[in-house]
Structure 1
Amino acid sequence: MILSADPLHWTMAALTGAAWSGLTVRTLIRARRAGQVAATGPGGLLIGYASQSGSSEALARAAAAASPGARLLSLDQIGVADLAGTAQAQFYISTTGDGDAPDNATMFLARVMAGCPELGGLSYAILALGDRHYPRFCGFAHRLDHWLRACGATPRFPLTEVDRDQPTALATWRARMGETTNTGAPVSAAAPGRWRLAARHHLNPGSPGGPLWHLVLEPEGPLPAWRAGDIAEITIPSPEGPVRRDYSLASLPASGRAELILREVISEDGRPGTGSHWLCRQLGEGGAIDLSIRANPGFHAGDDAMPMLLIGNGSGLAGLLAHLRHRAALKASGPVWLIHGERSPDHDAVFAEELSGYLASGGLARLDRSFSRGGGGPRYVQQILRDSAAAVRAHVAAGGGIWICGRREGMATDVQQALEEVLGKDETARLMTERRLRRDIY
């Protein structure tokens, strides 16, 4: 997905349209945050997206900004009437996990794709973003494509698959869009900013789990803006060429730096992970990093008065810590409850001093830590949810939201199951539809 180093920015460059002349990626991101997207009546262009970490949504918003009058909706906002009353549609579709729909497409999958309405008047194109490391590459996008065809809709051209490391796929999309829309030159992509590694700390020496590292990065140029929940895209050098890795930001711009929490990855055969090994072991202090920041609205917070339940494990603390730091800096905000899981209570109680300070100051109303290899036997975050079922239900009844950050395998899946047990499946689905259940999972 990269031209030189940054796949998202290269993707932006690959999207075509004469109206893109003079726009930059940063302009499009600002328009995206401000919601500067026009609506259109029936029969116009519909741009839909399904996005877990913000990439597909950013692309869809960029396309909408280049198409005056286009209607921009997440899949969960699209109904049968929207599709049946539309002549043309573009879909920017990510697949999460092993062929699964992103969170903002689950209701569309359950309610709209459960039937097969007549869509003979619809012409559509799909850009599918995925990762070939997963067996069901772009699985949800293919499922959407098959469903649209079965309902009588006509593809303008075959679904375009984009692997995160294959720039040629974006060239195909650009060519196809140009052939079918007679559009002009692509937007010029903004280059990633240059940052320096200011500090790196091993957080859990002696842990029975993988090493956790805290990285502090400082920009060489102007500090960009971001919000709690946003993502750092880092270009990693490798023998096969530059690759991109995404990391949840643990800090806020007010600190003047970007902080990351990384798990050093070592595969079963002993090979180190490309991104984590370079950042945690190879990059020297003061070394240069190409970094850009991607908005991730699916993991943003809304009203600062809303009670927050933050749930995560391991390096997932990064995305939660940014929210906690934001709330702690406010003079008045809703209460925050943090549940975090790790391996050993003796070695993995990371950021203990900072979290204790928030408890003392009232910035954190409740803290629960679970350890899978503690002296009293294994304990996991999902067990805390079950043991605290009454408190979880009270939190939701008070209008609270839930944010989950961490690994999909194990933690996120088990937490989802626990929430459905504690709250019921219908209530859990309602929270997701209302954007009161948000996930940043990987």
Structure 2
Amino acid sequence: METKDIDHLFRHHSGKMVSVLTRIFGLQHLDIIEDAVQDTFIKASLTWRKQQPDYPEAWLTKAAKNRVLDIFRTLKSQKNNLPNISQGTDAIAINELFLDSEIEDAQLRMIFTACHPKLDPRDRISFALKTVSGFSIKEIASALLTKEETIKKRLVRARKVIKKAKLKFNIPQGKDLSERLESVLEVLYLIFNEGFHSNNKTQLIRTDLCTEAMRLCQLLLKRKQTQLPECYALFALMCFHSARLETKMSLDNAVLDLKQQDRSLWHFPLIQLGNSMMYKAVETDEFSCYHYEAAIAAEHLKAKSFEATDWNKILKWYNALYLLQPMPSHLLTMAVICMQTEDYKMANTYFNQIQATDLEQRAYLFYAAKADYYAQNNNFPEAIIQIDLALNKVNNTLEKAYLEKKKESWLMK
């Protein structure tokens, strides 16, 4: 078996194994469990060079469980640390914990653990990507535009809090569930967003992050307790955005904005799935930020062409979203929408409420939008000043090329 196949299996199955083994052995042994799963994959990469087993995932799961037991025995700690596996956790036989439904249950428990309020908000997404999704420290650092050393510290800090606070490996109930779910949805939204518009220097789209966020969101929707309107709305939003993924880049790897995308290539089955999720999401009158963002994405998908977009309706949804979630990024988008309707006075009103620094790593978007504003008003010298500021701030090489192409066209005016 090739190394890339082992890596693929690790990504897709290590989170499952870490979650189910944590359910068996407890959160206090998370370090040992993660080491055991890592050891298992090293062993697999060596063993499978000769012959691949018929059921690779089953082989990995069994080997990981046995490896944990070996470690506990080596430490001579089975009396104090080893659970009574003859009876299993929650009176379920150990073998039954490896059924698909029980693995999903264990993963949901891990998601809610990763989003516990006692964990620092900055640590939650790193911990979730590591334990639930099987991302390496290097991959997490790349996805979050953070140094590997910082990610290591966040993971160590999260594990210390889990041990010190003796957090329970369960799905919260009642009021605790709704409070924790808010954090879970925020983490899934951030994972998806990083995939849809990555901060990575060389990749604009990280399909693996989008897919993982959708998979975890689907886990929530499979359980009655978490089949809630905001969960359906978030999944609808992910479906709507994912339907456009393949059209965001040209064949020669250039960035294509909404105006340039080939709408005939948008993935209709995903749009249909998103629509069906939205029907479930609006069964109540209470709307979350995900409802409004999904409604905005749906408006773009409805339009037969860029010119046919109902910008007034989109602005209406953004106003509602801003009331719920007053963020500078929303104000910037509202300014851009006003530019589409040639309401430059209102666009300028929105621009004046934002500082580029408010957008942190996305500050280049402010300068790029201002450049478009001046270009549309035929003030090309000022447009070039603004786009140079954007070029100085942008991290992604593909977006930089997109902005440079714009600048070249303006220099010819």
Task: Say yes or no: TM over 0.5.
Answer: no
TM-score w.r.t. length of structure 1? 0.26
* Larger Rg, first or second structure (1 or 2): 2
TM-score w.r.t. length of structure 2? 0.28
Larger relative strand fraction: 1
